[in-house]
Structures are given as structure tokens and as C-alpha cells.
Structure 1
Amino acid sequence: MSLKERLAREIALTGPMTVADYVTRCLHDPKDGYYAARPAQGAILGEGGDFITAPLVSQMFGELIGLWAVETWQRLGAPEQFRFVEVGPGDGTLMADALRAARVAPGFLEACDLILIEPSGPLRTVQERRLGQADVSPRWVRSLTQIDTDAPVILIANEVLDCLPARQFVRTDGGWAERRVGVTDEGGLTFGLVGISGGFDKPPYEVETGQVIEISEQQAGFGRDLGALVAETSGAALLIDYGRDRPGAGDTLQGLRRHAKVDVLAEPGEADLTQWADFPAVLEAAVRTGADVTGCLSQGEFLRRLGIEARAERLSSGRPEAAPVIARQLARLTAADQMGELFKAAAIFAPRSLSVPGFEG
């Protein structure tokens, strides 16, 4: 029985499913979920997969993140031990590039306890192969709460928040309703609205009739856990994702397969489903735990502050024949009409006196 058939049967028995629960099942169902089954069948990342992430666009991205981590470590006083954590490491490319760049800093790699947080077994296998010859051997845990708190933490989370789904609510002429996934008479999946009788906090901004708002308990929970970890240990967590840097309405649920948008209900488990990161909610949850946060920068501005243009120039000088490709990679990462504006960067940090690289001023 396919995942779609199993979901339809479950909904028929128990009632319409929230969008957040539906996305979670599509991505993480142990048997047929996208991240449980697809990596074992073939690549999901890169030109030959379903989508491409910044580390796969150019080595410059991971190298700059590695140098960001080095600078953060130095500003923390170069502790003799720290936890270097990546959440959702993909195929390991970002971390491989970061560790290579970090060789320039004496003592950094020797002090590094490398931890990867990855719930997908097949992806852990891919990461293990990619990092098999790295300067530091990684170890894997399943959640932030499994990280020891006896040393500072420097954490990277690139395109993680968009995998943490949100429930969807719609303002109607008759009041607020929740958008849920139901079943048609023919056994197909469909969206519908369920009235809300109570327990719903209206958004603190204007929403027109018919508009959708998204509330992600999982994203807020991630911000809370991350803030608590950083507040207890000291250090900094860098979040880079596509999404909103201010509260607002909008249906951002989408499915991607072979780099094209697909119907999110058509083939559960066969496409990557994402929703925008809600940076305001994540950062607010972190602040409530005692951590400090930066504001949001566009990815383009953040990378420029880290020196990506100078890095591109050096790479082009050393390999003139590759200069046109490097220029296209630079534009892909920083241009306003590509990844530069849609993607945002922000940091959660402690103590308050720490100046986080890239966010000064």
C-alpha cells in the first residue's frame, strides 16, 4: 500500500489532517517518507536531484561558513574544546568545505568536537562517505537536546527551518478556519477548511478575508531548544534559510521534484515539501530562553560581509578559465533575483557581549 493510500485511509478513519502533520508524514514516514526512502534510491540534492542548496552552488559558500566559525571561535577566546554542530547536513558538502577552510586557524580543528544532527539513516550514510577523510571525525545525534552542555557551541543550520512544517489558518467571512487535508469520495487527497471554535491566537497584523497565515510549532520549538542550548553553553548558532524576516500572511507550501514545482497532494513521499522559515517566531522563541539574537540580513548581504566577492576574485585569478563559472556562482548566491534576497541569515548567541561575525553594526 502506497503512502498516499495509507494517508487516505487514516484520514477517512480519524478526520482531516493538519497541514503540518501531513508534511511531516510525507517527509519522515519511516517506510515511504521523502527523507527516509528517497536518499536510498538516488540523489535528492544537486542538478541530478530534486533541488540544489547553496553549498552545492559553489565551494565559496561552505568555505565562508567555515571561516565564520573560526572567527566566532576566536571571539569566544579560542576555547580548548567546543562543539561544532551542523543540523541537517545534507550530503556533507557544506561541512567538508568548512573544515577545509578552517585549516588556516591553528588549534581550531584540534579543539573541535564535530556533531551532526540528522534523523535520516540514508542521509547519514551519505554524510559518512563525504566526511570519511575529513580532518575531524563526526559523530551523529538525533536532536539538539542530546548535545552536551559542558563546552561552547558553534552551530550551523542551513535550509533546516523550511523542513519544519506549519499549520495553516484562513480568515473567512465567518471567522477563522484551519486548512486541513481531507479525502474525496474517490479516495484522493484534497484541501478543505475546518472551523475553529477556540484556542487560536489571532495574528498581530492585518489579514484580509481569504488570506492564509502559517504558524509553525516545530520552528518555534527549534528556536526555543537552540536558544536554551546557546544560553547554557555560550556560543553562536547561524541560521540561513528562505523565508520571511517580518510577520505576514501567505501560503508558502510547495512541492519540488526534479527542480520543478509539483502538486503537494499528488504523490506523498515522492517530492520535497517545504514552507517558508518564520524568522521572527524562531528568534522570539530563542530570546525567551535567555539567548540574544541578531537581526536578519539577506543572504547576499551576509555573504558580502564575509568577503565572498574577494574570495571569488581570488579563485578567478588562480583559474582564469573558470572565471565565467565563478561569476555565475557568485550571482546565484548573492543576486537579488536569485538566492540573494529570498534567503535570509540570522544568529542566536550568548553571552550578550559576543559580537557575531557578519552581523556587527
Structure 2
Amino acid sequence: MSGRLEDEIKALIAAEGPMPVSRFMALALGHPRLGYYVTRDPFGAGGDFVTAPEISQMFGELVGLWAVAQWQAMGAPAPFALVELGPGRGTLMADALRAARLVPEFGAAARLHLVEMSPTLRAAQGRALGAAAPQWHDRLEDVPPGPMIAIANEFFDAIPIDQFVFRDGRWRARRVGLKADGALAFGLDPLPHGAEPAPYGPPAEGAVLERMVEGPALALAGRIAGQGGAALVVDYGHAGGYGDTLQAVRAHRWVDPLADPGEADLTAHVDFAALARRARASGARAFGPIGQGEFLARLGLAQRATRLKAGKDAAAQAAVDAAALRLAGHGEGQMGALFKAMVIAHGGLGAPVAFDTGEEVV
């Protein structure tokens, strides 16, 4: 049975023709009345997916300590904007601020800003972070000027992408249209796409190139290059290449991306190489990516787990170990390799903590 958003999308296609994948994603996720993120809290066992902050407090605590170290490396500006992009329920930031109490000056200097479009999630963030007096914004561009430390955990995977398919020696744009029976379907623009793709080597027939909509990445890098600071990006993705990574998740299961738009989470793997190129083109530096497991290990995940287990019974200790393995392990269902961390930093800053081996890789 068609949902109301599906009917609106079909009507748009019928009136205007097939739409780019990016427009379909933008409508499915962010339609002002019917979009996925506008109408629900998708996190946790009762939602559609689980993120690292929901697995264990250790993730947010270590991110908080990273933010403190980065603030100190910036010369401890006061005040500064502490920004989270897509803060979920506020769990990550609540854990980060608790860990940051080790350096009271950090908390005194921080002005908390949350970039969030969902009324439902804003309410949850207010409950979790009300004591920190957060300010909410629809876009990063609305955050007041000045030096900034930004956190973007599983944010860029939900930025709409366009897809191009290499067919008969030409790149052609993939679009969402209608089949004869009125169902949504993917198709290709019959005209070749004029822009040259990212340089990932000669494509094979049928290769898929994905390009993230540039606005959020350019806004983040431009802000850092012009006003100072750094951003930590943690997400699932790769360091460049071809492939179709568009996916949809509902109730913790993979579903058809075109089925019931607005009822499932649509994401794509982050191309960290492209993200780094955008950062450098804006005048910022980019470090990484490194695997989430390596990133957390360098920040002291094992030591934090040991402290959490102290004095606990066997069941509680086993739960801490299981959470640490899920965050940092490389096996099936674990996040240590698939998820990666990158830092975008002002050109005047050195290598950030956990990236101090000098790997400015992609």
C-alpha cells in the first residue's frame, strides 16, 4: 500500500519527469511533513538502527576527551562553538560533556550548538542536554561565527547522493522514475552526463559513481578554514572508488530503497577521499581516514573499559567487553573496520590527537 509521501513523489515525477537520486533521498529523509527524520525517533532496539553512542558510553566519553585535547591544541579559545551535526538523542554529547568535566575550563568556554532538523529528536536532545543550554539550528551556516569544534557521527552517510552509471563508454545519471504500472523504479538518463567523474581509474562497464551533495561538506570545511577549529567525522565508508552503496534500513533489516519512502532510513557509504578533497579545496586540512577501531584504541578504549569493569560482577564486565568489541572489532557485525574517522582542521593546526602519526592520507 502506497504511503502519502510515495504518492507525492509519484505526482512530482508524473509532472516533471524522473528525478535525481539526490532529490529522492532529500524528500524521503527530510520532507517537512512526511520525511523519515522529521516524523520519528529511529534509534535503538525499538527503532531502525543502533549507533555507536547507543552501544556504550565509552564512545561518547572518548570523543569528549578528543574534543578537549583538540581545544587545547587550538590554544583554548574562549568562548568557542561546540557543535554536533545530527546529534541523535543527545547521547553522544551527554557522554562527551561528562568526560570533559576533567577539564572544567573546557566546559566554561564551550557554547553548545546542535544542528538538527527533526522536532522529535530536538525534544530528546533537550531532555538529555538541557543543563548545557544548547541552541538548535537547521544548518551549520546558522551557528554564530567563531572558532569551532564539530562532531559528526553518522551524519554524512545521510547526506543525499547522486549516482552515475558507466554505460557504453559514457557516464549516465541514474534517476528515479515510474514503471508502466506506476511503481517507482531506477532508470538512466538517455543523455550522457557531461561532468567528468572523480579520478578513480578507468571504469568498467556498469560501474557506479556516487557523489554526495556538496553543501554540508563545503559549509563545514569553509567554516573551519575561515574561522578556525576542527571537525571529527566518524561514519561508515571507504577511501574512494566505484560502487553502488545506496541502502535502506527498516526495523534493523535491509529493505528496497524505493519501497515506502519516508518509512526507512536511506544512507550511502561516505567517500572519505571526496570529503578530503572538498576540505582541501576550501583551504582546510584533512587527516585520515583511520578505522574506528584504531581511532578508539589510540584514545584509550582498552583502559576505559578496564576502569568501567572495576568492581563489577561478571555479567557487567562481560557486557563492557562485548560493547568494546562491537565498537572496535573487525568481525561481522562489528564497527572497527567498516566505520572510519577523519578530522578536518584549520590549516594552521598540526596533526590532531589520534592522528599524530602524520597520516594525511586521502
Residue of 190, 195, 220 corresponding to 1:200? 195
What secondary structure, in the 3-state scheme, does the structure 1 residue paired with 2:175 have? strand
Matched, 1:21 2:23: yes
Which is worse superposed, 289-298 or 190-199?
A: 190-199
Q: Find out whether 1:181 has 2:176 as its counterpart.
A: yes
SS in 2 for 1:360: coil
Matching residue within 131, 137, 147 for 2:143: 147
Given candidates 51, 54, 62, the residue that maps to 2:60 is 62
1:18, 1:181 within 8 Å by CA — same for their partners in 2? yes
1:34 match: 36
Tell me the TM-score normalised to structure 2 length.
Answer: 0.94
Offset of residue 198 of structure 1: 4.5
State which drifts further: 206-215 or 141-150.
Answer: 141-150
Q: Read off the aligned partner of 2:100 and give its amino acid letter.
A: A
Spell out, residue by residue over 1:90-129, the C-alpha distance to the aligned partner (whole angstroms, 9 max, x if none).
Answer: 0100000001111111211111111001112221111111
1:173 & 1:13 partners in 2: Cα distance? 29
CA RMSD of aligned residues (A): 1.4
TM-score, normalised relative to structure 1: 0.94
Give the whole-Å Cα distance in 2 for the aligned partners of 1:243 and 1:209: 23
The CA distance in 2 between the partners of 1:106 and 1:27, in whole Å, is: 38
SS at match of 1:210: coil
Distance across 2 between alignment mates of 1:194 and 1:78: 51
Gapped runs of 5+ residues in structure 1?
none
Distance 1:182 1:267 in 2: 15
Q: Deviations over 1:108-157 (max 9, x none)?
A: 1111111001112221111111212x3x211111212122223x211100
Show the counterpart of 1:8.
Answer: 10
- After the TM superposition, which residues 73-84 of structure 1 pair with which residues of structure 2 at under 5 Å, given as runs? 73-84=71-82
Q: Is 1:319 the equivalent of 2:315? A: no
For residue 168 of structure 1, report the CA deviation from its aligned partner.
0.8
Cα distance in 2 for residues equivalent to 1:141 and 1:96: 18
**2:152, 2:234 within 8 Å by CA — same for their partners in 1?**
yes
Paired with 1:45 and 1:131, the residues of 2 have a C-alpha distance of 17
AA aligned opposite 2:303: A
Q: Secondary structure at the match of 1:318?
A: coil
Per-residue CA deviations over 1:303-336 (Å, capped at 9, x if unaligned) read 0000001101111123233111111101110011
Instruction: Tell me the residue number matched to 1:329.
Output: 323
CA drift of 1:223 comes to 2.3
Q: Post-superposition shift, 1:352? A: 2.8
Partner of 1:344: 340
SS in 2 for 1:305: helix
**What SS does the aligned partner of 1:333 have?**
helix
8 Å contact from structure 2 (residues 290, 341) kept in 1: yes
Q: Partner letter of residue 277 of structure 2?
A: E
Q: Look up the equivalent residue of 1:228 and give its one-letter code.
A: G
Alpha-carbon contact 1:225-1:286 (below 8 Å) kept: no
**Number of equivalent positions:** 351
Alignment CA distance shift 1:210-1:198 (3 Å): closer
Distance in 2 (alpha carbons) for counterparts of 1:49 and 1:149:
35
| Whole-angstrom CA distance in 2 between matches of 1:174 and 1:292 | 35
Identity of aligned residues (%): 46
What pairs up with 1:79-98 in 2 under 5 angstroms? 79-98=77-96
Matched with 2:246 is 253
Task: State whether residues 283 and 347 of structure 2, in contact with CA within 8 Å, keep that contact through their aligned partners in structure 1.
Answer: no
In the alignment, is the contact (CA less than 8 A) between 1:149 and 1:232 conserved in 2? no
Contact 1:163–1:275 at 8 Å: present in 2 too? yes
> 1 CA distance for matches of 2:83 and 2:175?
35
Match in the other structure for 1:304 = 297
Q: CA deviation at 1:235?
A: 1.4
Residue 29 of structure 1, CA deviation = 1.0
| Distance in 2 separating the partners of 1:286 and 1:162 | 17
**Separation in 2 of the partners of 1:223 and 1:318?**
44
Give the one of 264, 267, 276 matched to 1:271: 264
User: For residues 242-295 of structure 1, what are the alpha-carbon distances to aligned partners after superposition, in whole Å with 9 as ceiling and x for unaligned?
Assistant: 0112x2111001110110000111111000000111111111111111111112
| Structure 2: stretches of 5+ with no match in the other structure | 358-362
How far off its partner does 1:203 sit? 3.5
Q: Is the 8 A contact 2:169 2:205 kept in 1?
A: no
Seen in structure 2, the aligned counterparts of structure 1 residues 118 and 174 have a Cα distance that, compared at 3 Å, is same
